[in-house]
Structure formats: C-alpha cells, structure tokens
Amino acid sequence: MMSDRVRVDQTEQWRALRQHHRELGEPPLRELFASDPDRGRRYALEVGDLYIDYSRHLITDETLRLLHALAEARGVAELRDAMFRGEKINVTEGRAVLHLALRSPRDTRIEVDGENVVPAVHAVLDKMAAFAERVRSGEWKGFTGKPIRTVVNIGIGGSDLGPKMAYEALKPFTDRSIQARFVSNVDGADLHENIRDLDPAETLFIVSSKTFTTVETITNATSARRWLLSELGDESAVAHHFVAVSTNAEQVAKFGIDTANMFEFWDWVGGRYSVDSAIGLSLMIAIGPERFREFLDGFHLIDEHFRTAPPERNVPLLLGLLGIWYDDFHDAQTHAVLPYSHYLSRFTDYLQQLDMESNGKSVTREGEPVSWETGPIVWGTPGTNGQHAYYQLLHQGTKLVPADLIGFARPVEELGELADQHDLLIANLFAQGQALAFGKTAEEVAAEGIPAAQVPHRTFPGNRPTTTILADSLTPSVLGQLIALYEQKVFVQGAIWDINSYDQWGVELGKALAKRLEPQLTAATADTSDLDGSTAALVERYRALRGR
C-alpha cells in the first residue's frame, strides 16, 4: 500500500539541503573558524552535566537552519510527543515505546491502553532495591548458607550489553566484595570461562531475557543450572541461586524459576532500551539502589530536555540532524564513538546495538523501500588505544568518518597517583579533535624542513568532523545522561528517515535458519540436498571434521 506521506527525499527541505550541500561542499574548518572567532563557543550546548562542542562540523548557520526545517517538516516533535504519550509508535509490533517511563518520577502519569504504567515501574524498582540490598548485605544466602560473592547475568543483546557496559563504566561505584560477570555467547566457552573458578554456593545467576525464549540464554541458563546442581546436588538449591528478569512469567515458571523471584518488565521496553529496567538488576546489586536511582535520574534529565528544549538548544535533536547531514548528504557510511575513558570501554559496543538494531532498516514505516541512506555503522574503541591502531585512516584515509570524542575532566578518586596520567589522556582527546579538524598543510610540513618527497605523506587534510562531549566526571547520572542522549538521537534519525526504530525483524532469518541447520550437523546421517551448494559443502565438511 502506498502511503500519501511525501517521501523524505522528495520534500522541499531535503532538496534545499542537497542544493546547500552542492554549494557549500566541504567548507574548510580553518576558514570557518578564522571568519568567526566565536565559533567554538557559539556552536556549543550544555545539558545537565554535559558540554557539547559541535563547532568542528562541516556546517554553517544556514546548514543548521535547513536541518531544523527538515526536522520540523517531518514532524519529529509530533512523533516525540506521541511516544511520550504512550501511543503505539512501534507500528509493526503494535507497541508503545516507553523506556522513558522506566525513569519517570513516581508521580508521573503515562498511560498505555488507558492504564498508568508508572506505578508498576516503581513497584518493580522497589522489589529490585529490596532484593539488591539483601544480596549486598549478605542477608540473601545461597543454599549452603553462604552469602553471594558473584552475580552472573545470563542474557544476550539488550539483556546483556547494557548492564555489562554500565557495570564496567561504574566500577568505582561498585561494592568490590561482590563481582558481576556476564555470559551471553552460545559458545560454551563463555559460560565455562566465567564459572570455572566460582564456588556455586556463593554464586547467583540472573537469567535475563525479555522473551525468555532466546536460544542462547536458555541454553546457557540450562547449562548453568546443571553445573549448580551437579555441585550442590539438590534441586531446591535452584531457588537460592537463580532469579529471572523477563516479561514472560509463563516461560520463567516453565524453566523452573519461582516467579516470586522474577523481576518484571513490559513489552513497551525494547531490548536495547532496557538497561534501566529490571534488566539492570546485576548493575543495581553492584552499585546499590541509590546509585541506580541516580543513573535513572540522568536518563530522565535528558528525556525532559528532549521533550521541552527549543529545537536550537535541543541536543539529541542536534546530534541526530548532524548524523543525517553526513549520512545522507556527505555519503558517510560510518560513525565512530571514541570515549577517552577506559571505564567506557564497552560503551561503543552498547551503542552498536542501540543504533544499528534500531536504524538499520531499509523500508519506511509503511513498508516502502527507502531511497535514502539510513543508520550508519557505529564503531570505535576507547582512546588512546585506537590512536595507535586505526586513527591513521581517520586522519589520512579516503573515507569521511564523523566521530564523537567523549571525555571527563576528573579522573576517578580511587586511581590515587595514577590520576596524574589524566591530563595526558585529555590532552590526547583535545589534540585528536584539533588534528582531525584542522590537519596540517603541505606548507606547514615543508616549513619544518621535511624533504619534498615526504611532504605529501606527512600532510593532514583535516576537515574531519567531530563532536566533543565533555563532563566533569563519569558518575551514574552522567552515564544515564549519555545513554539517553544517544537513545533520543536514534529516535530523531528514525523519525526523519521515516523508519520504525523499535522493531528488529532483521535478526529473525538467521535464528530460524540456525534452528533448521542444527539437526543437520548433529544427526547420525544428514540429507543436505535441500541446502544451497555453499551451505551443503560447509555442513559436509563440518560433519567430516567432527567424524560424523
């Protein structure tokens, strides 16, 4: 069915941006700064604890005006308000998109099908807090009466990446006497390496799965249960060592976990938006309920900013629009996120799912093929490591890679003397932004006495755009702010591209094929005649290698 909504690339605002791009080309950042000495301050915004410098982008005031006109014409604000009202904007699954309700204050009212969902959110948060305190204090005992020393979260995708990333990010805020581990991969090596040195009597498994049908998670949870029983030898040990986080009480009960030990969430929370739901239970046990509340407050601060700030000061809107400028008008294929914080070492992995599972789509909300670029490939690792690996390409390669540089003014206190290294870390962050933006001309290289033959090799073209995000320190609230910033940026882009950012049908085919193939790998004899030639040959080779 054809929609009567004008396709985004047919709008006058899109055409105006195309025309503007043709005229502007890639304006030299050196010149933009020379002609506007105030640009560094003028193209900067603050929200909550975050300072955002977007002056090193290939834009002018006119670019911003045209991008905002596009957002207005495409109804970004209207869709945002519909999301906040609890309307079912996830059209292909008929669901509301309400991760923002997970961090709403108790007195907020957000309705889904006429029912206020906020009281249920807080009831679960309270239940989580009570449980987390019992584990942290040692009141919750394992089967043999020992307190819990290790919490193992078993989950994958959104039921793994969020708590794993946040646990790493907030390590200095964790109770160091209880460690958290994360098992996701169906490769048995993941579970093996994570439990081989553990005492089951001191281990708590949190089986985290929105659907509780995800094969990796159920397989790992079943193996973990077997391990626990083989060590503790009594079925009734399970209740002391297994809890579940899910939307699916029926499957949880079927697995053998008492639903009294289940922490609920809802179908209006997408997996990749669930770190601040009960999926964050392992994190809450690690940092405590109070810090977890601060984490949620950070998200809420950005939600409120996104909902109420005028377009020209709306940071998620701005970041979304800048991404569209590069994706759709400069043909940039990727977006690098480069945190200058070792604690954020898993942040980019987390954002990969958030962004790529949300906006890696090629049909519109009405099901028509898009004729414009949608979500970028998101990648990156913490600075300064990347500088000694792939930054070469960022500086001198042929590809345009817009990047976010993220840093914190204050090192964490427990680093002690090692905190002295922090200035060097931040000097690198600032230097990279500088080098990427302004490069080094052939004249400048030659003036250093470099032999002529080497000058081209040592020249840096510059004009590589970056956003710098700077905060005082990496606290639970700041982490919440950062995540929400990217969540809402992804929303903005999905709204403009007219795609549904909240389904993920693209993961289904591989799952179904794997289910069909597994018996062909394991059966006594296999009929591969129904397979394509490549897969048939691989299956046969695998079977031969395994002696089947």
Of 168, 294, 357, 487, the active-site residue reads 357
* 469 sits in which H/E element: strand 466-471
CA distances from 534 to 172, 528, 531, 538 (A): 49, 11, 8, 6
Query: CB under 6 A: which stretch of 33-41, 187-195, 204-212, 358-366 binds ligand F6P?
Result: 204-212
Count the helix, strand and coil residues of the chain and give each as a percent rounded to the nearest 5: 55, 10, 35
Q: Are 360 and 375 in contact (CB under 8 A)?
A: yes
- What is the closest distance, in whole angstroms, from the C-beta atom of residue 295 to ligand F6P in the complex? 19
- CA dihedral of residues 267, 270, 276, 277 (deg, nearest 10): 20
Query: CB under 6 A: which stretch of 49-57, 138-146, 156-164, 309-317 binds ligand F6P?
Result: 156-164
Of 388, 443, 457, 508, the active-site residue reads 388
With CB under 6 A as the contact rule, the residue among 55, 63, 90, 159 that binds ligand F6P is 159
Residue nearer to ligand F6P on the CB measure, 207 or 492: 207
CA distance 275 to 482: 13
Instruction: Enumerate residues 342-361 that contact ligand F6P by CB under 6 A.
Output: 357
- What is the closest distance, in whole angstroms, from the C-beta atom of residue 486 to ligand F6P in the complex? 16
365 binds ligand F6P per the rule CB under 6 A: no
- What is the closest distance, in whole angstroms, from the C-beta atom of residue 206 to ligand F6P in the complex? 12
E strands present in 365-415: 377-379, 403-408
382 binds ligand F6P per the rule CB under 6 A: no
Residue nearer to ligand F6P on the CB measure, 128 or 315: 128
In sequence order, which ranges of 25-60 are alpha helices (DSSP H)?
A: 29-35, 39-42
Q: Is 45 left (phi over 0), alpha (psi -120 to 50) or beta?
A: beta
With CB under 6 A as the contact rule, the residue among 63, 153, 174, 214 that binds ligand F6P is 214
Q: Are 488 and 306 in contact (CB under 8 A)?
A: yes
209 binds ligand F6P per the rule CB under 6 A: yes
162 binds ligand F6P per the rule CB under 6 A: no
316 binds ligand F6P per the rule CB under 6 A: no
Integer-rounded Cα Rg, in Å, for the chain is: 25
Residue nearer to ligand F6P on the CB measure, 161 or 180: 161
With CB under 6 A as the contact rule, the residue among 86, 157, 289, 465 that binds ligand F6P is 157
Query: CB under 6 A: which stretch of 91-99, 142-150, 205-213, 466-474 binds ligand F6P?
Result: 205-213
- What is the closest distance, in whole angstroms, from the C-beta atom of residue 484 to ligand F6P in the complex? 18
CA distance 142 to 148: 6
Closest CA to 245 of 323, 414, 128, 356: 128
- Among all residues, whose Cβ is closest to ligand F6P? 271
CA distance 284 to 296: 11
Of 192, 254, 399, 511, the active-site residue reads 511
163 binds ligand F6P per the rule CB under 6 A: no
Query: CB under 6 A: which stretch of 22-30, 155-163, 286-294, 295-303 binds ligand F6P?
Result: 155-163
Site string for ligand F6P, 502-541 (x = CB under 6 A): --x--x----------------------------------
Residue nearer to ligand F6P on the CB measure, 154 or 321: 154
With CB under 6 A as the contact rule, the residue among 20, 95, 171, 272 that binds ligand F6P is 272
**Is 388 annotated in the active site?**
yes
Q: In angstroms, how far is the first alpha carbon of the chain from the final one?
A: 50
- What is the closest distance, in whole angstroms, from the C-beta atom of residue 217 to ligand F6P in the complex? 5
90 binds ligand F6P per the rule CB under 6 A: no
Burial class (CB in 10 A: 0-12, 13-18, 19+), 94: exposed
Q: How many residues bind ligand F6P (CB under 6 A)?
A: 14
Instruction: Tell how strand 203-208 and strand 179-183 pair up.
Output: unpaired
CA distance 288 to 271: 23
211 binds ligand F6P per the rule CB under 6 A: yes
Q: Are 289 and 132 in contact (CB under 8 A)?
A: yes
158 binds ligand F6P per the rule CB under 6 A: yes
Q: Are 56 and 465 in contact (CB under 8 A)?
A: yes
Q: Are 121 and 104 in contact (CB under 8 A)?
A: yes
Interface residues with ligand F6P (CB under 6 A) are 156-159, 209-211, 214, 217, 271-272, 357, 504, 507
Q: What residues are labeled active site?
A: 357, 388, 511
